[in-house]
Amino acid sequence: MANGLDDVVAAETVLSDVDGLGGRLTIRGYSLPELAGRWNYPQVVRLLLDGFFYDLPGDAELAARLGQARVEVFDRLLSCLPLLAPLDVYSAMRAGMALLPDGETLTDALGLIAAPAVLTPALLRLRRGEQPVAPDGRADHAADMLSMLDGSVPTPALARALDTYLVTVCDHGLNASTFATRIVASTQAGLTSSVLAGLGALKGPLHGGAPGPVIEMLDAIQAHGDAAGWLRGEIARGERIMGFGHRIYRVRDPRADVLKAVVRQLGGEGETGRRLAFAETVEQTALHVLRIAKPQRSLQTNVEFYTALVLEAAGFPSQAFSNVFAAGRVAGWVAHAREQQTTGRLIRPLSRYVGPMPDLVA
């Protein structure tokens, strides 16, 4: 029996491959370093969706249609947002996305991809007593997300940093949220139903819910003043060290290096640079402490550690980090849903019953 379905192949896909031993991520034939910082997010959206929609346009038109989708999502859901804003920001975003049509068209797909980028800034603004900022359908996707967050045009460097982050997390093999998405898609449910399953799985702290606690950890270590002592104390209490270890990677997560470079480009001599220097010290201390405390396990830096610094620098509060993760990953979910619907069958594994049996009467 495979607990947690370890090493069980549940799907064939053209979308991405995670090499856990080599520390490599391949997305539709491209290595992550070939995409991150070189392709923008709409280009990667088109790459992921290629072959799954008969009317998929070229890069420029797809970017324009994604911009129009942001405008349409905002107009459609604006009146509902005050009712959703009292919820935690992730639950509110998920509830807003549940109001989108549950169709199968490219328009439906682009609406779902646009929705987290629109809903997250709008909900954050409402929660701090400000009015939502309407999207600019002509702007670049990541830049528009930042403009909707603080009401001003972001610097090119900041927009490029967020764009690189969205590309970096766009797809990652058959992780929990992608598998949940494919299970629902295998029933021939619509794209919204499938994506909502992914959103539910991503909320958990063992999946997309971990970058926020990385910030809390860094703040706690800074206040404590002794990184090694704080980390050893957490391990002694049986707590997880956030930002380290991965279910698949037995070496350093390649996405961590991409995002560390993004933070370094943003850093300079300002607060982001000081934050990076401190995080690097904590990272090296944590790796040393973990090697000693858990020598039987390979616990390396994962994507969450530097995700926290990128999103903090971009101005997102830690409680919204999973929202931004979803804003990047939703393109992968949509692509996996379409792949499952067009090439797969109903996912229906077996379980082994280990409970009590009824008494059999002779």
Told to judge if 304 belongs to the known catalytic residues of this protein, a careful annotator would answer: yes
What DSSP letter does each residue of 203-267 carry, written as one string? TSTTTTT-HHHHHHHHHHHHHHS-HHHHHHHHHHTT---TTB--SS-SS--HHHHHHHHHHHHHH
Q: Count the neighbouring beta carbons within 10 Å of the beta carbon of residue 91.
A: 14
Label residue 305 exposed, middle or buried (CB < 10 Å: 0-12, 13-18, 19+): buried
Quote the CA–CA distance of 144 and 67 in Å, as a whole number: 9
Residue pointed to by tokens 């603080």: 150
Hey, is 156 helix, strand or coil? helix
Strand ordering across the sheet containing 24-27: 16-19, 24-27, 30-31
- Considering only CA atoms, which of 135, 150, 177 is closest in space to residue 337? 177
Q: Count the neighbouring beta carbons within 10 Å of the beta carbon of residue 14.
A: 14
Radius of gyration of the chain (CA): 21
User: How far, CA to CA in Å, does 275 sit from each of 74, 278, 309?
Assistant: 34, 5, 8
Quote the CA–CA distance of 257 and 262 in Å, as a whole number: 9
Quote the CA–CA distance of 321 and 312 in Å, as a whole number: 9
Told to judge if 130 belongs to the known catalytic residues of this protein, a careful annotator would answer: no
Torsion of CA 313, 177, 120, 258, to 10 degrees: 20
Hey, is 106 helix, strand or coil? helix
Set 72, 234, 283, 304: catalytic member: 304
Set 141, 172, 207, 246: catalytic member: 246
Hey, is 338 helix, strand or coil? helix
Residues involved in catalysis: 246, 304
